A and B are shown apart, each in its own frame.
Chain A
């Protein structure tokens, strides 16, 4: 079974600054997918970014980018130019070959105005 670990329960960032959320995972598979989802207080889980394990290039999506280190099994999310609307719980997720997502415990991001 895959294990996803998010070691930071909470992170706080000043508006317009940058914050990095860490995620590590444990797997014996060579082909898999990694995701970051955000869940604001409204509860809707929203896709932030996706990374295919076979791609060496780190995924970026506007102000969101990842640092994918396959050998280290690390998948961190960087939020640049943080905005008040970025405040949410962020979940790192691993998708295995059986299509199920395994989630980390989540990191609550607070944005200070």
Chain B
């Protein structure tokens, strides 16, 4: 079946502009995660959703970052007033349930470049 999809695959934006990154999880997966991966580094947890609610937003780097999820499906990560340090690959993952009893399936990521 279809895996996790993300769009766009690549995004180049000018410093100060807002960007929206989209994640389509695997159908039926109730949990959804966003991570940031800077060049040559591991994944940094940003936020997770159980259904449409986000119990933990502590990983969001600043108030310029926000995320929402509607209909227990698509999620959007929004970065306002982008900065060069926001350049990274943003990965989304989904799992059948919440917590680490369930495998996370990752999308291919969105590569964001802020010029």
Do the two chains belong together in a single complex?
Answer: no
Residues of A within 8 A of B (CB): none
